[in-house]
């Protein structure tokens, strides 16, 4: 993934927390991408369940914490 792709992801993300871009998909899932290591990705259901991931357990736990603490900001933008 090149810098242009990363820039596009940053500009379309609904929220960026600690280097992770959170983007709501058309089916209301949340796509999370590590901007420093774009091959680390995660898809969460609207309820916060892990649907797909390429992250290890430690990184996954950290990102889930970011999501739980900050999801209200994404919900406010869609209210």
Q: Which residues contact 63 (CB under 8 A, 6 or more apart)?
A: 20, 32, 42, 55
* Mean pLDDT score, 16-32: 95
Number of helices (H), then strands (E), belonging to the chain: the values are 2, 5
Q: Which of 3, 56, 78, 2 has the alpha carbon at shortest distance from 22?
A: 78
CA distance 55 to 72: 23
Per-residue confidence at 27, pLDDT binned at 50, 70, 90?
very high
Q: Which of 4, 7, 24, 6 has the alpha carbon at shortest distance from 15?
A: 24
Per-residue confidence at 3, pLDDT binned at 50, 70, 90?
confident
Domain definitions of the chain by residue range: 3-78
């Amino acid at each position: 993934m090149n810098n242009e792709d990363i820039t596009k992801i940053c500009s379309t993300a609904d929220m960026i927390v600690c280097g992770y871009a959170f983007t709501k998909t058309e089916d209301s899932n949340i796509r999370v991408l590590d901007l420093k290591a774009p091959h680390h990705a995660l898809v969460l259901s609207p309820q916060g369940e892990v649907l797909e991931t390429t992250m290890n357990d430690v990184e996954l736990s950290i990102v889930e914490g970011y999501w739980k603490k900050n999801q209200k900001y994404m919900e406010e933008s869609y209210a």
